[in-house]
Amino acid sequence: MPSLISMSPKNTRLLVGLILTLAAGLSPIPAQTSVATVPEGFINFSLPATKVGQNSTTYLSVPLMLDPNYSGSISSVTSNSITVADNPAPWTSGGLAAASSPYFVKFLTGAEKGRIIRVTANTTNTLTLDTTDNSNSPIQTVALTAPGFSVQPGDTFQVFPGDTLASLFGANTAQSPLILNGTASPLTSDSIGIYSAAAIGWQTFYFDTSSNYWKLLGSSQNVNNTVLYPGTSLIITRRANEPALTFTLTGRTAEVPLLTKTTGNSGIVYSSTRYATDLKLSQLQFGSNWTQNNSPLIADSIGIWDAIYQKWDSYYQLPDSTWRELGNPSTDQSNLVIPGGSALAILKRGAISVTDSTSFLASPLPYSLN
């Protein structure tokens, strides 16, 4: 089970094994803790040993982000770009849009507070942003100038670096060792599943040691630079007869409630709580954009991966805001704990406007910042 442990910022994004010994005696940050600054820390993921002749599947999420390297305010905005007050800002033209090192903007104030969006191009003072939010096909665009959901001059934001397959899970070098086992064949390599919005399905990636780079199953291309979006869900498949593995993600947790883009029309978005701490179902307060109903066929729902039984368990909210499990409507599940770093399958039942704020969900921070 993952846990968030307070520590000083680290340059290494992923650590393996012995860090558990170093962390002994430090206390996890529980839900509803009041902290003085944005927590820096790490989250441990423990993958069980696999049995002879049997692979294992683990769903998890990436709830910690890298530290921002720029914070500022907006001087002007278009449908898909923002201009910053600094001119020039402390970056080079095009420097935030390289495939090998993605960057993201996180809005800290204003109507779009908590929206995290990828930088696709930049000048010395303007950032062009991907306003599709990596959404499912057909692509859904929510403009930065959407009525009632518009970024405004004076709103503040951060720019922070993102992760790729190679930066997070290794590139098989001394400076960036592999976290999972790679081989020359996808039949024997461990793999990582990433949900593709464009393909509306999971895609499988493995490290080919003969080519010495990450590949997409069925392709020979180098996909080291595949972007891992903040908060995304991943499937880790380990091959039979492998020892238990612990790896540790370092980073920074959220300082504002984060927005999750949904699609409606019974489309599933694979995401997470977005927070690197344990949460009760009752703490997921999605607001008016979340449909509660006595019928699980009408109510929106979330799926939580059950590692023991290797299946998704589905939960929905009654009009009194209590949570129930599909197939067990009589038992209140509101105190069920979702471990930090868990994957969620979020299903929005009804038709929604995909061009404004109604397609986003946000749950309050599970801690307070002083």
CB 55 within 8 A of CB 249: no
Question: Of 161-170, 176-185, 238-247, 344-353, where does mean pLDDT reach its minimum?
Answer: 344-353
Tokens found for residue 362: 């946000």
Cα–Cα nearest to 235, from 160, 307, 178: 307
* Fold annotation for 70-161: Thrombin, subunit H (2.40.10)
Using CB atoms within 10 A of its CB, is residue 34 exposed (0-12), middle (13-18) or buried (19+)?
exposed
Q: In angstroms, rounded to a whole number, what is the distance separating the alpha carbons of residues 346 and 271?
A: 7
pLDDT number for residue 10: 34
Give me the mean pLDDT over the 35-44 stretch.
Answer: 65
Q: The pTM is what?
A: 0.88
Exposed e or buried b for every residue in 234-254, given b needs 16+ CB within 10 A? Answer: bbbbbbeebeebebbbbbbbb
pLDDT number for residue 15: 56
Q: In angstroms, rounded to a whole number, what is the distance separating the alpha carbons of residues 221 and 223?
A: 6
Quote the Cα angle for 339-344-347, to 5°. 145
pLDDT number for residue 28: 35
Given a cut of 60, whether residue 121 has pLDDT beyond it is yes
Residue 298 has a CB neighbour count (10 Å cut-off) of: 12
Amino acid letter for position 276: A
Please indicate whether residue 41 or residue 290 has the higher confidence score (pLDDT): 290
Given a cut of 50, whether residue 133 has pLDDT beyond it is yes
User: Would you give the distance in Å from CA 194 to the centre of its chain?
Assistant: 11
Cα–Cα nearest to 33, from 5, 66, 65: 5
Please indicate whether residue 140 or residue 154 has the higher confidence score (pLDDT): 154
Question: Of 106-110, 155-159, 210-214, 355-359, where does mean pLDDT reach its minimum?
Answer: 355-359
pLDDT number for residue 104: 97
Each residue's pLDDT tens digit, 291-327: 999 999 999 999 998 878 888 999 999 999 999 999 9
pLDDT number for residue 36: 39
pLDDT band at 39 (very low <50, low <70, confident <90, very high): low
Sign of CA dihedral 66, 67, 70, 75: positive
Amino acid letter for position 79: S
**Beta-sheet pairing, 40-47 with 4-6:** antiparallel
pLDDT band at 138 (very low <50, low <70, confident <90, very high): low
pLDDT number for residue 306: 86
pLDDT number for residue 38: 60
The partner residues of 150 in beta bridges, in order of sequence, read 145
Give me the mean pLDDT over the 81-105 stretch.
Answer: 92
Alpha carbons within 13 angstroms on the beta-carbon side of residue 125 total 11
CB 365 within 8 A of CB 34: no
CB 116 within 8 A of CB 274: no
Each residue's pLDDT tens digit, 330-340: 999 999 999 98
pLDDT number for residue 29: 35
Q: In angstroms, rounded to a whole number, what is the distance separating the alpha carbons of residues 262 and 142?
A: 11
pLDDT number for residue 99: 84
Domain edges within the chain:
70-161, 259-369
**Beta-sheet pairing, 368-369 with 34-35:** parallel
pLDDT band at 356 (very low <50, low <70, confident <90, very high): confident
* Mean pLDDT, the chain, whole residue set: 86
* DSSP assignment letter at 147: T
